[in-house]
Amino acid sequence: MSALNEQARAILQDNDRGGFTVPTGSLYPFQWNWDSAFTALGFATFDPDRAWLEIETLLDAQWEDGFVPHIIFHGDDQDYFPGPKVWGTNRRPATSGITQPPVAASVVRQLYHAEGPAAEARLRRVFPKLVAWHRWFRRVRDPLNKGLVMIVHPWESGRDNSPEWDAPANAVPTEGAGTYERRDVHVVDSAMRPTKQQYDQYLALVAFGREAGWRHEEIAATSPFQVFDVGCTMILLRAERDLHALAVSLGEEDVATEIEVRISLAQAGIGHLWDEAVGAYCSRDLRTGNTSGMVTSASFLAFYAGVGSDQQRERLLEHLQRIDAAAKYLVPSLDPQHAEFDAPRYWRGPVWAVVNYMLARGFAECGLEEWSDRLKSDTRQLIELTGFHEAYCPLTGQPTGGDTFTWTAAMWLAWAGQLDDV
Ligand code: GLC
């Protein structure tokens, strides 16, 4: 086994807190929703039982309405902010009140596919929870009835400080943020983290949800931040296709039919996120009707979601070629030629292994093997250069954010470090 394989396993094991894995001990000491899903793919390469457990622990924190939280605070940690008291959801275990990209069903399909019927009992345990979560998105977060995903907090996108959220977040009143002390900037260089203004907006939105008693319907209807996120929308559509395949395997015909209806709706509705002037899928603010007009790494998830006409796909690939010429490593989280591009700052420039993984799968499935191989080899090189970091500068390959990062290690084990297929 190569040294990097060993290191990657050791990171997963060291960050394992018993049933759940922390993204990285110093910066994120709890369980994060989509991190756990990607982490399960890493565990699946050497401990399938532990992989299922990661997903089970995540879904055990599901609320009665189907919602699955973005953080599960299995304990307290004075060094983390905003912690359970700030969220004030009053749950056991304590959780945040917002969600994250629903990649779990896609991961579960892969776990089941790898093991086959032997894993059926475990699949049956999580399946109804995944169904309930997907129904929650449709019921609570699809106000235009188009199969899209509206987010009510930038953190729900998983792309926390993407410039796609700047204009909508600047309209959020920040008085509610109060005074607070950030912890993240003690652990990581502040040039790599969101700004104070953004943090005020984040905290004001947390206060808004807390004051609304985390009643999700009410928040969706009245939040000062209501944006259709291209990333969550694409990821959910893909997850619906995977959940559909699972429903068919389990002989759950009624659920399969229900999901088919939602898939058709989303396939027809996704055009709402196409910005013809830009030639890309972009997030769109529900309150103003404006798209961000930005080409982000999430724009290319169209291939992973299986959407877009031939012409739209060609336009997306033209952007990718242009971005390739401007960056050393693909895929930067924002178009390097955009004025807001900021090479080391989190989701405003850096390359993220988990995003590359989804993009590469999408390219491979659409017959674009060259792009798929390219993303795999770029991700591999970035990890070989400096190890398992949170993200990487697309211009130099320098690491950004936290280190010994779980999901990056998981992506090495499940994908970038493997010499064969995606
Ligand atoms: C940051 C990332 C988010 C991730 C979390 C834990 O908030 O933006 O996507 O889930 O860290 O790694």
Please provide the DSSP assignment of 332-399 as one string: -SB-TTSTT--TTSGGGS-B-HHHHHHHHHHHHHTT-HHHHHHHHHHHHHHHHHH-S-SEE-TTT--E
> What is the whole-number distance in angstroms between the Cα of residue 86 and the centre of ligand 1?
18
Residue-level pLDDT at 177: 87
pTM: 0.98
Show the tokens assigned to 105: 């069903």
Show the tokens assigned to 14: 């060291």
Largest CA distance in the chain: 54
> What is the whole-number distance in angstroms between the Cα of residue 414 and the centre of ligand 1?
19
Pocket around ligand 1 at a 6 A CB cut-off: 23, 28, 32, 34-35, 158, 160
Show the tokens assigned to 131: 């169904």
- CB-CB contact of 124 with 58 (8 Å): no
Q: Residue-wise pLDDT tens for the chain (422 aa)?
A: 689 999 999 999 999 999 999 999 888 999 999 999 999 999 999 999 999 999 999 999 999 999 999 999 998 788 888 999 999 999 999 999 999 999 999 999 999 999 999 999 999 999 999 999 999 999 999 999 999 999 999 999 999 999 999 999 999 999 988 889 898 888 889 988 899 999 999 999 999 999 999 999 999 999 999 999 999 999 999 999 999 999 999 999 999 999 999 999 999 999 999 999 999 999 999 999 999 999 999 999 999 999 999 999 999 999 999 999 999 999 999 999 999 999 999 999 999 999 999 999 999 999 999 999 999 999 999 999 999 999 999 999 999 999 999 999 999 999 999 976 44
CA 379, 383, 388, 394 dihedral sign is negative
Pairing, β 227-228 against β 274-275: unpaired
Separation between Cα atoms, residue 155 and residue 158, nearest integer Å: 5
- CB-CB contact of 394 with 336 (8 Å): yes
Of the residues 65, 77, 160, 403, only one is catalytic, namely: 160
For the chain, what is the radius of gyration of the CA atoms? 20
Atom of ligand 1 minimally distant from the CA of 159: 8
Confirm whether 252 is a catalytic residue: no
Residue-level pLDDT at 422: 45
Query: Which residue from 309, 273, 276, 278 is spatially nearest to 293, judged by alpha carbons?
Result: 278
- CB-CB contact of 415 with 364 (8 Å): no
Helix (H, G, I), strand (E, B) or coil at 185: helix
Block residue for tokens 């709890």: 30
